[in-house]
Amino acid sequence: MEFLDPRGVPSRAIEPYALTAALEGGDTVALFANGFPDSASFLEHVETSLSKELPGVNFLRLDKGNASALASDEHLSTIAESCSAVVAAYGH
Protein backbone atom coordinates (compact mmCIF):
# COMPACT_ATOMS: atom_id res chain seq x y z
CA MET A 1 0.00 0.00 0.00
CA GLU A 2 1.29 3.48 -0.85
CA PHE A 3 0.25 6.64 0.99
CA LEU A 4 0.31 9.86 -1.00
CA ASP A 5 0.77 13.33 0.46
CA PRO A 6 -2.30 15.30 -0.76
CA ARG A 7 -0.51 18.65 -0.54
CA GLY A 8 0.59 20.08 -3.84
CA VAL A 9 3.98 21.54 -4.55
CA PRO A 10 3.88 25.33 -4.07
CA SER A 11 4.27 27.27 -7.30
CA ARG A 12 5.69 30.30 -5.46
CA ALA A 13 8.08 30.76 -2.60
CA ILE A 14 6.36 30.63 0.77
CA GLU A 15 6.25 34.08 2.36
CA PRO A 16 6.24 34.22 6.15
CA TYR A 17 3.40 36.14 7.77
CA ALA A 18 5.05 39.29 9.06
CA LEU A 19 2.18 41.47 10.32
CA THR A 20 2.29 41.97 14.07
CA ALA A 21 0.91 44.31 16.69
CA ALA A 22 2.94 45.10 19.79
CA LEU A 23 0.06 45.14 22.26
CA GLU A 24 0.34 46.53 25.77
CA GLY A 25 -1.99 46.91 28.71
CA GLY A 26 -4.71 49.42 27.86
CA ASP A 27 -4.71 48.61 24.13
CA THR A 28 -7.94 47.33 22.61
CA VAL A 29 -8.37 44.43 20.20
CA ALA A 30 -11.54 44.25 18.13
CA LEU A 31 -13.06 40.77 17.81
CA PHE A 32 -15.06 41.06 14.60
CA ALA A 33 -17.55 38.26 13.84
CA ASN A 34 -18.70 38.01 10.24
CA GLY A 35 -22.26 36.97 11.03
CA PHE A 36 -22.05 33.28 10.12
CA PRO A 37 -23.29 30.94 12.85
CA ASP A 38 -20.71 30.36 15.58
CA SER A 39 -18.36 33.18 14.52
CA ALA A 40 -19.19 35.22 17.65
CA SER A 41 -19.04 32.11 19.82
CA PHE A 42 -15.64 31.22 18.40
CA LEU A 43 -14.35 34.70 19.20
CA GLU A 44 -15.40 34.26 22.83
CA HIS A 45 -12.88 31.42 22.99
CA VAL A 46 -10.29 33.53 21.18
CA GLU A 47 -10.80 36.28 23.76
CA THR A 48 -10.35 33.83 26.63
CA SER A 49 -7.07 32.59 25.16
CA LEU A 50 -5.72 36.01 24.21
CA SER A 51 -6.58 37.55 27.57
CA LYS A 52 -4.32 34.98 29.24
CA GLU A 53 -1.45 35.90 26.91
CA LEU A 54 -2.11 39.65 26.88
CA PRO A 55 -2.91 40.80 30.42
CA GLY A 56 -4.42 44.27 30.58
CA VAL A 57 -5.48 44.30 26.93
CA ASN A 58 -9.16 45.13 26.37
CA PHE A 59 -11.44 43.43 23.86
CA LEU A 60 -14.28 44.92 21.86
CA ARG A 61 -16.78 42.47 20.37
CA LEU A 62 -18.35 43.44 17.07
CA ASP A 63 -20.65 41.41 14.82
CA LYS A 64 -21.68 42.23 11.25
CA GLY A 65 -24.82 40.19 11.80
CA ASN A 66 -25.06 39.37 8.08
CA ALA A 67 -22.29 37.36 6.48
CA SER A 68 -23.10 38.62 2.99
CA ALA A 69 -22.87 42.31 3.94
CA LEU A 70 -19.74 44.42 3.90
CA ALA A 71 -18.41 45.78 7.15
CA SER A 72 -20.35 48.96 7.91
CA ASP A 73 -18.76 52.40 8.01
CA GLU A 74 -19.68 52.48 11.71
CA HIS A 75 -17.82 49.22 12.40
CA LEU A 76 -14.78 50.37 10.43
CA SER A 77 -14.61 53.77 12.10
CA THR A 78 -14.99 52.19 15.56
CA ILE A 79 -12.11 49.82 14.84
CA ALA A 80 -9.91 52.56 13.34
CA GLU A 81 -10.56 55.03 16.16
CA SER A 82 -10.38 52.77 19.19
CA CYS A 83 -8.50 49.55 18.40
CA SER A 84 -4.84 48.65 18.03
CA ALA A 85 -5.60 45.36 16.27
CA VAL A 86 -8.53 43.34 14.95
CA VAL A 87 -9.26 39.61 14.78
CA ALA A 88 -11.88 38.66 12.19
CA ALA A 89 -13.67 35.32 12.43
CA TYR A 90 -15.59 33.35 9.87
CA GLY A 91 -18.04 30.79 11.23
CA HIS A 92 -20.12 28.13 9.50
pLDDT of residue 55: 95
Q: What's the rounded Cα separation, in Å, for the pair 64 and 70?
A: 8
Residues in the chain: 92
pLDDT of residue 92: 67
The SS3 assignment for 29 reads strand
Q: What is the pLDDT of residues 42-88, one digit of tens each?
A: 999 999 999 999 999 999 999 998 989 999 999 999 999 999 999 99
The SS3 assignment for 77 reads helix
Q: Which residues pair with 69 in a beta bridge?
A: none
pLDDT of residue 8: 84
